[in-house]
Structure 1
């Protein structure tokens, strides 16, 4: 990594092409259960995954690429190539002033939750592996400016660990996990020791564990069905970040961070305003209820977050300045949010520089690229 790096976008998304699964899963074995597009009676496309219908795209998932950010593509052919073709996405990175792009999925679920809901563990694993391989073979092969992160099968746990190791060995630099697995199927609570091998493996491999807001929709209020696509997308973008509050509070209370002190955790698509509330409230309530006296916590909740966690901002201005003070600038990442409707595209670098105006130069560098470069080992 040279001194010319100015911006590492820590939360961008790929839109998965149908060939991700149609070319990698056995048709003889899985047949129509393979994730694929299906044309509906009204002329729109939907995804059919293990016999279950899913929307073509979530609200605003490709909005930055559309002529009208508030519009929602009804068929696959209406989705711009910049959403799913890495060579075209590179041109967008160049135009926006983005040097590296950390990737999250879309069709697989923004936290892999779509596949986490598949009840056949063998099919789930095949779908997950196909996505992880595609990201390396298509995107990283195109350019090492794309920073891949794997999704995981949720069970059995030995398959989860094996896939993390396999994916990281192939080049993945982060591990994406749904924040509430039991919302998806009959699985233990995330605080259960069942998941300790996941935390331990991420810690040993020195890759961050990433929770993406919206990965457990039950934690947020759904958009009203009568909203237009633009209003629904805007509402979702506001509602999602708040879902990080119970996730981070639970993670701290669970003592996962204390038991795995070298585990780094990223909270993506959260913005920054919730951090001070969540940490200050958890510190206060721990004291009020005498929690520290009942359970030997080594660190205050805010201290555990400072040591191991990151939140991703993209529009924040007042919240950014507050977060630089509490919990601190070392815990902040920044994103362009490509290709989402609330992305800063097409002026991503200049937009974020304007939001960081007035902050010390080193602070700006930490937020825009230094923290992400250290976390994802960008060289």
Structure 2
């Protein structure tokens, strides 16, 4: 690996992304599902908008005019690959909301050896990757009508993630992140345990489940799932947008508005968890917020403590939240960032042990191939041991990696 003669620690990124190869489900599901399981077709784009936090693509019919792209087809869903899914290697000013094919994306988006090579270029040792087609917590399958097929799809994705994406050719450098059947907490708990038995220590979840038509964390509905995470040391990983609703101010707000305030759902979600009582009921439970940045955290903790201290009686939390929210945060919550100089200047108000580094490869926000340089510029004022904790040490501890920063696979 090329370390560029740098003393900056090798990065463990807790938020990268994989673009699933076309055969993930076709290769793993029974033959009777071949026509209905997720598969890829090449078709023209009829129209596509991304306004008010809503992504709306419309696939054309064969022979229609329009740019050709590769589309995932699953039931009634038609979801194209877009340049925003994989923008690394493209000039920032040339990144557009447009459909693309697999041939038009950087191979590291979907190919393991190519991904490792791109990680080398970026001073990255290991990476945890969120999905693309299933969306950030597998909500694609939650919306499906055929729940039997959806459950098979969740399990097939997890098998691919563990056995192939993070398989032997990854040499421990890719860290598995699995999905659950969000529609059934008991099945979710079983899937957590199934994957924990083969060394998985992170599972994707929605930052605001009610946006998906699911129960909130203030109910007891999720307790079987949370108990499984608590027992197995599985981290609940929530990515911005995992509620299928990006923050926005109006239906006609341009994407730039939402891009500035992407942290907002993480903020709302974190208050939910801190006021839910779940951290006291499940003392080993830990959650992380991918791509949420960290600069907003100090004020929210300050405000949450004030509300808990002064208003918990009428606020409905006195009987379940018995410690200041800031203390619960310190023991249970991790913020993830890739570009947050302000947050790093206020690290004492967040907590050294509660921050993780990421590169967001291959998305348009990614700092690839300069994640090391960005980190050096923003962490230059911090002692070397502090930088080591942020860039890799906290991730090693949280995800139970080897001391060398690698995933060790099944026990």
- Listed one character per residue, the Cα deviations across residues 302-358 of structure 1 (whole Å, up to 9, x for unaligned) are 110011110001101122221x11121110001111111111111212221221001
The structural deviation recorded for 1:153 is 0.7
Within-5 A mapping of 1:326-345: 326-345=349-368
Unaligned runs of 5+ in 2: 1-6, 45-59, 61-65, 403-411
**Residues 121 and 180 (structure 1 numbering): CA distance in 2 closer, same or farther, change over 3 Å?**
farther
Partner of 1:13: 17
- Cα distance between partner residues in 1 of 2:84 and 2:257: 10
* Residue range with higher mean Cα deviation, 86-95 or 163-172: 163-172
The structural deviation recorded for 1:273 is 1.5
- Cα distance between partner residues in 2 of 1:327 and 1:108: 32
- Confirm or deny that 1:96 pairs with 2:118: no
Partner of 2:212: 184
Aligned to 1:47, the other structure's residue is in SS state strand
- Cα distance between partner residues in 1 of 2:328 and 2:225: 19
1:145 aligns with one of 150, 153, 173: 173
1:136 aligns with one of 151, 162, 173: 162
**Residues 35 and 253 (structure 1 numbering): CA distance in 2 closer, same or farther, change over 3 Å?**
farther
**Residues 222 and 38 (structure 1 numbering): CA distance in 2 closer, same or farther, change over 3 Å?**
farther
The structural deviation recorded for 1:223 is 8.5
**Residues 200 and 333 (structure 1 numbering): CA distance in 2 closer, same or farther, change over 3 Å?**
same
Q: Larger helix proportion, structure 1 or 2?
A: 1
**Is the CA contact 1:12–1:103 (under 8 Å) kept in the aligned structure 2?**
yes
- Listed one character per residue, the Cα deviations across residues 126-179 of structure 1 (whole Å, up to 9, x for unaligned) are 111111111122221221110111011113222111111112223322011122
TM-score, normalised on structure 1? 0.90
Structure 1 stretches (4+) deviating beyond 6 angstroms?
222-226
- Listed one character per residue, the Cα deviations across residues 99-131 of structure 1 (whole Å, up to 9, x for unaligned) are 111111111102222222223321221111111
Partner of 1:304: 328
1:154 aligns with one of 170, 173, 182: 182
Partner of 1:347: 370
1:241 aligns with one of 259, 263, 266: 263
* Residue range with higher mean Cα deviation, 143-152 or 129-138: 129-138
- Cα distance between partner residues in 1 of 2:124 and 2:34: 39
The structural deviation recorded for 1:90 is 0.2
Aligned to 1:44, the other structure's residue is in SS state strand
**Is the CA contact 1:103–1:148 (under 8 Å) kept in the aligned structure 2?**
yes
The structural deviation recorded for 1:216 is 1.1
The structural deviation recorded for 1:76 is 3.2
The structural deviation recorded for 1:225 is 6.5
**Is the CA contact 1:5–1:99 (under 8 Å) kept in the aligned structure 2?**
no
* Residue range with higher mean Cα deviation, 329-338 or 209-218: 209-218
The structural deviation recorded for 1:52 is 1.7
The structural deviation recorded for 1:296 is 5.2
Q: How many residues align?
A: 369
- Confirm or deny that 1:83 pairs with 2:109: yes
**Is the CA contact 1:35–1:50 (under 8 Å) kept in the aligned structure 2?**
no
Aligned to 1:276, the other structure's residue is in SS state helix
**Is the CA contact 1:125–1:153 (under 8 Å) kept in the aligned structure 2?**
yes
- Cα distance between partner residues in 1 of 2:166 and 2:251: 38
**Is the CA contact 1:128–1:153 (under 8 Å) kept in the aligned structure 2?**
yes
TM-score, normalised on structure 2? 0.83
Partner of 1:54: 79
Aligned to 1:258, the other structure's residue is in SS state helix
Unaligned runs of 5+ in 1: none
- Listed one character per residue, the Cα deviations across residues 244-296 of structure 1 (whole Å, up to 9, x for unaligned) are 11101011111011111111111111001221122112112223324488425
Aligned to 2:262, the other structure's residue is in SS state helix
User: What is the RMSD of the two structures over their aligned residues, measured on CA atoms?
Assistant: 2.3
Aligned to 2:24, the other structure's residue is in SS state helix
- Cα distance between partner residues in 2 of 1:357 and 1:189: 40
**Is the CA contact 1:148–1:172 (under 8 Å) kept in the aligned structure 2?**
yes
The structural deviation recorded for 1:236 is 4.1
**Residues 124 and 104 (structure 1 numbering): CA distance in 2 closer, same or farther, change over 3 Å?**
same
- Cα distance between partner residues in 1 of 2:148 and 2:249: 31
Partner of 2:52: none
The structural deviation recorded for 1:182 is 3.4
The structural deviation recorded for 1:368 is 0.5
- Cα distance between partner residues in 2 of 1:245 and 1:36: 36
- Confirm or deny that 1:201 pairs with 2:224: no
Q: Larger strand proportion, structure 1 or 2?
A: 2
**Residues 89 and 360 (structure 1 numbering): CA distance in 2 closer, same or farther, change over 3 Å?**
same
